[in-house]
Amino acid sequence: MNQIYEKHLWGGNEFDFYSGVGSHNPDIINPYLETVITFLKSFETPLLVCDLGCGDFNIGKHLAPHTKKYIAIDIVKPLVERNKRLFKEAHLEFHCLDISKDELPFADCIILRQVLQHLSNSEIEKIIKKLINYKYIILTEHIPMGNFIPNVDIISGQGNRTKKNSGVNILLPPFNLKVKKETFLTEHIMRNNRGRIVTTLYQNAI
C-alpha cells in the first residue's frame, strides 16, 4: 500500500496522498455519503464508528461530524501522520494498524469501503473473525456486473477480483459471516462495463 501512494498508482499526482477516483468522483461518493449520513443520523444517540482503511480521509471527513467518536485506521503510516496534521477534532482519532493482524478498537459500527477487494482470502478471513464484535458493518465492494464467481483468491495489493470476474461476498465461503440482517444501501454503475460499486449494511446479532 505504501508503493501505491508513493508511485501515485491510483492517480492524483498533484496530491501528496490520493485514494483514487472512488474516493473523489462526486458521482460515486455523493450518493454514498447521503445514504451513510442518513443512517448515522437515524440514531438518537450517535454511534461510535471505526473506519478500517480511511485512506486520504476525503470520505471520512464528511461522516465524522455525525458520530459520537470516529476512529480512522490505515496501514500506511505517512498517510496516517498526514491525516493527523490536517484533520483535528476532539472526537476524531487516527491510528496506523494492520487490520488483518492487529487488535481493532471498540466501536458500534465498522466502515469498510473498498478495502477487502484488494486483500487475499486469508487476510479477509482474519478480518471477518473480528467483524462479529461489531453491531453494524457498512461494507462497500467493487464487483462485476451480472453473475460472477464470488471470492476468487488474489494476491494482496494486486488490483481487485473484477479482472477474474469475481468480487467479495462475506456471507459466502470461505468467509461465511453469519448476520442478523442484510440491507442494500446504494450502488454506482461504472462506465464501460467495469462493474459496480455496491454498499451494504450488515447487522450482527449482538
- Residue of 2, 15, 18, 5 whose CA lies nearest to 59: 18
Band the pLDDT of 95: cuts 50, 70, 90. Answer: very high
What single letter denotes the amino acid at residue 78? P
What single letter denotes the amino acid at residue 144? P
- Mean pLDDT, rounded, of the chain: 91
- Separation of alpha carbons 116 and 160, rounded Å: 9
* Residues 48-71 as b or e (16 or more Cβ within 10 Å = b): bbbbbbbbbbbbbbbbbebbebbb
Ranges of each domain in the chain = 25-203
pLDDT at residue 14, rounded to an integer: 45
Band the pLDDT of 15: cuts 50, 70, 90. Answer: low
Query: Is a pLDDT exceeding 90 seen at residue 43?
Result: yes
pLDDT at residue 5, rounded to an integer: 45
Cβ distance 163 to 193 under 8 Å? no
CATH class of the domain at 25-203: alpha beta
Q: What is the pLDDT of residues 47-89, one digit of tens each?
A: 999 999 999 999 999 999 999 999 999 999 999 999 999 999 9
- Residue of 32, 28, 10 whose CA lies nearest to 20: 10
